[in-house]
Amino acid sequence: MTQVRVPAFAKLNLDLRVLYKRPDGYHELRSVFQTISLADRIQLRFARTRRTEIRIAGNVDIPDNLIVRAAHAVLEELRISAAVEFALAKRIPMGAGLGGGSSDAAAVLLSLPTLVGKRLAGKRIAPQRLMQMAAQLGSDVPFFLVGGTAAVLGRGEELYPLEDLRAPHVLLVAPGIHVSTPDAYRALSARLTPTSAAAKLSGFQSLLWTGSHTETVSDGVNDFEDVVFEHHPRLRTIRNQLRRAGATTAMMTGSGSTIFGIFPDLASLNAAKARFHPAQVHAVRFVTRTAYRATWNRALAAAVEKP
């Protein structure tokens, strides 16, 4: 049996523009994704068996779990049967716009082939194929193969690394409001026009252009805010509270419901944090692509054989 423990980091959308609904039913996006230090922990165990069996233990019970689907995809791609056991310590709030489920799936794509490769030399998945498998699992999954700061286009599967951004004092407020992503897309879709798409495209390009020499993204927008805030006015209140508390940027991530604030120093972050219920706030920092990769390499290098 081979075993490894890996992290699955959460993400924020520093910018998220929805242009139009495509013929395939998905929406065409322009976004900036950023990994942050909040992470689930996943332990994987792998053993060769005649019949594939995938089991998951942990503090959550998610139907149609992306972790299990990712594991099946890897085993099928490598054409092997195996017993794979997962233990999941879930820390990223679910359905909160933080990409937790997608990151867990990417973590399996990044780690299970390594475990298999330790036992069966030559069993590999090429990076390009891994990207395709990630996109099949979900629109946000490919980003988590790369991490750091990235421009994300298409339905989410087309991504381009950007220069590292640093933000050591970021506060997440996750108020436990569940927003259905398909519902949020439907509500937003009804308001999209060709004129709004053109304006969003040029806005996104100018954001990347100006952002590339300031090391910050401070003019980001999230198109979901208006439609989601109409149903959940408390989220707007939280965003405004963070702004009043000194956040230089305060906005929603994904289709919600987490609101994040970027603070200039630890003192102002702590003052803002004290205004919310302790169970609903997380102080985090950005994780750069270099740090993301280094953390992953360390975790995978520590994979061990167990009798």
Which of 15, 40, 140, 223 is an active site residue?
140
Pairing between strand 281-284 and 27-48?
unpaired
Number of other CB atoms surrounding residue 197 within 10 Å? 15
Q: To the nearest whole angstrom, how small is the minimum distance from the Cβ of residue 247 to ligand C5P? A: 27
Q: To the nearest whole angstrom, how small is the minimum distance from the Cβ of residue 27 to ligand C5P? A: 4
- Our finding on whether 69 is near ligand C5P (CB under 6 A) is no
- 286 with 167: CB under 8 angstroms? yes
For ligand C5P, give the closer residue by CB, 2 or 139.
Answer: 139
- 83 with 248: CB under 8 angstroms? no
Ramachandran sector of residue 121 (left: φ over 0; alpha: ψ -120 to 50; beta: rest): beta
- Our finding on whether 181 is near ligand C5P (CB under 6 A) is yes
Considering only 45-53, 54-62, 135-143, 241-249, which stretch makes contact with ligand C5P by CB under 6 A?
A: 135-143
Considering only 77-85, 124-132, 137-145, 270-278, which stretch makes contact with ligand C5P by CB under 6 A?
A: 137-145
β-pair partners for 171: 261, 283
CA atoms within 13 A on the CB side of 98: 31
Q: To the nearest whole angstrom, how small is the minimum distance from the Cβ of residue 302 to ligand C5P? A: 30
> Residue with structure tokens 């927008």?
221
Residues 6 or more apart whose Cβ sits within 8 Å of residue 306: 1, 2, 3, 45
164 is catalytic: no
- Nearest one of 233, 229, 232, 205 to 219, comparing CA atoms: 205
Considering only 2-10, 132-140, 196-204, 244-252, which stretch makes contact with ligand C5P by CB under 6 A?
A: 132-140
Among 182, 194, 278, 307, binds ligand C5P (CB under 6 A): 182
24 is catalytic: no
Q: Let me know if 200 is exposed, middle or buried by CB neighbors in 10 A (0-12, 13-18, 19+).
A: buried
d(CA 66, CA 101): 6
- Our finding on whether 20 is near ligand C5P (CB under 6 A) is no
- Our finding on whether 138 is near ligand C5P (CB under 6 A) is yes
Considering only 119-127, 180-188, 192-200, 233-241, which stretch makes contact with ligand C5P by CB under 6 A?
A: 180-188
In the shown chain, the binding pattern of residues 25 to 54 toward ligand C5P, with x for contact by CB under 6 A and - for none, equals -xx-x-------------------------
Number of other CB atoms surrounding residue 307 within 10 Å? 3
Q: To the nearest whole angstrom, how small is the minimum distance from the Cβ of residue 140 to ligand C5P? A: 6
- 99 with 71: CB under 8 angstroms? no
Judged by DSSP in three states, 198 sits in helix
Size of the site for ligand C5P (CB under 6 A): 11
Q: To the nearest whole angstrom, how small is the minimum distance from the Cβ of residue 209 to ligand C5P? A: 23
- Our finding on whether 139 is near ligand C5P (CB under 6 A) is yes
Site for ligand C5P in 185-214 (CB under 6 A): 185
Considering only 23-31, 113-121, 269-277, 291-299, which stretch makes contact with ligand C5P by CB under 6 A?
A: 23-31
Kindly state the tokens that stand for 49.
């068996």
- Our finding on whether 155 is near ligand C5P (CB under 6 A) is yes
Element (H, E) at 83: strand 82-89
Per CB under 6 A, residues contacting ligand C5P are 26-27, 29, 138-140, 155-156, 181-182, 185
Active site residues: 11, 140
